[in-house]
Amino acid sequence: MSYIDGFVLAVPKANREAFRKLAEDAAVIFKKHGALSVVECWGDDVPDGEVTSFPMAVKCQPDEIVCFSWIVWPSRAVRDEGNKKVMEDPGMKMPDGGMPFDGKRMIYGGFTPIVGDPMSERG
């Protein structure tokens, strides 16, 4: 059974290209260490909520956009080992200016699919 890492974060609109480049480079490293796919999404229809919402969860500011990302791994064991290797990979060194978003407001977690398996739905 596959395993999914999910992420929600707020990125300053002015940092879109820096975020895209960082995400693109990181995707190569995650795949090198066992990830099957990496998807990074730039929000364009992410409404504010009254009780809770993606923007509220990451304390999104007016000059920021909510981004939603996920990584598909073949299993939790591959993910656990892969993440260790990713964190040790020299390619994961942050750019000179640091991350193009506030990592303290990023929400992330690991998930086991219970309906639909990305492994079996691949084309």
pLDDT for res 93: 81
Encode pLDDT of 24-67 as tens digits. Answer: 999 999 999 999 999 999 999 999 999 999 999 999 999 999 99
pLDDT for res 123: 39
Encode pLDDT of 62-121 as tens digits. Answer: 999 999 999 999 999 999 999 999 999 998 887 677 889 999 999 999 999 999 877 765
Q: Is residue 123 part of a domain?
A: no
Number of domains in the chain: 1
Helix pair angle (76-88, 16-32), 10° resolution = 120
Token couple for 117: 């398996």
Evaluate whether 40 touches 32 at the Cβ level (below 8 Å).
Answer: no
Query: What does the alpha-carbon distance between residue 59 and residue 25 come to, in Å, rounded to a whole number?
Result: 26
Q: Is residue 117 part of a domain?
A: no
Rounded to 5 degrees, φ, ψ at 75 are -165, 165
Write the CATH number for 65: 3.30.70.100
pLDDT for res 121: 59
Query: What does the alpha-carbon distance between residue 15 and residue 65 come to, in Å, rounded to a whole number?
Result: 10
Q: Is residue 24 part of a domain?
A: yes
Give residue 34's domain range.
Answer: 3-111
Q: Is residue 38 part of a domain?
A: yes
